[in-house]
Amino acid sequence: MFKVTPNPPDTDPVSPYELDPNKLNEAAERALNFHFPSTADIKATPRTPSTLFTVDPQATTETLMVYLVETLASVDVMVHQLVDHLEGESRYALLGISNSIMVAEITANRVLDQVDPPE
């Protein structure tokens, strides 16, 4: 029987794609260092706050606290309106979030009382 394709050439059984273990380890280390930086690298990087949403730097602490209290109260009302439409575990989860909001609101009110004590 006639063979259409020739036999492959006789070569060494070593693959030309075999990687050097040292180079493979170096590449793995670079990849790990890139994706998982050390805590020293993270702490050395200065924090640059975003200026996309900024608060007026001249706003007083009292003004900021009043705004915070009002925002928390509004969020609590929205959560309670959603709770009325839910049942079961979702309802309980939202009520837990509502409790966290309430604690934050109470804390903010306490801070506001210390900034501007009631007379």
H/E stretch holding 70: helix 61-83
Q: Answer yes or no: is 66 within a domain.
A: yes
Q: What percent of the chain has pLDDT over 70?
A: 86
Residue 25 has pLDDT above 80, yes or no: yes
How many residues make up the chain in this entry?
A: 119
Q: Answer yes or no: is 73 within a domain.
A: yes
Q: Answer yes or no: is 84 within a domain.
A: yes
Residue 4 has pLDDT above 90, yes or no: no
Q: Dihedrals φ, ψ of 117, to 5°?
A: -60, 140
Report the predicted TM-score, pTM, of the whole model to 2 decimal places.
0.52
Q: Answer yes or no: is 91 within a domain.
A: yes
Domain containing 100 equals 61-115
So what's the pLDDT on residue 52? 83
So what's the pLDDT on residue 92? 93
Q: How many CA within 13 A on the CB side of residue 7?
A: 3
Number of domains in the chain: 1
Q: Answer yes or no: is 26 within a domain.
A: no
Residue 41 has pLDDT above 80, yes or no: no
Residue 28 has pLDDT above 70, yes or no: yes
More confident residue, 50 or 108: 108
CA distance 100 to 104: 6
Residue 33 has pLDDT above 70, yes or no: yes
So what's the pLDDT on residue 16? 61
State the chain's mean pLDDT as an integer: 83
- Evaluate whether 112 touches 66 at the Cβ level (below 8 Å): yes
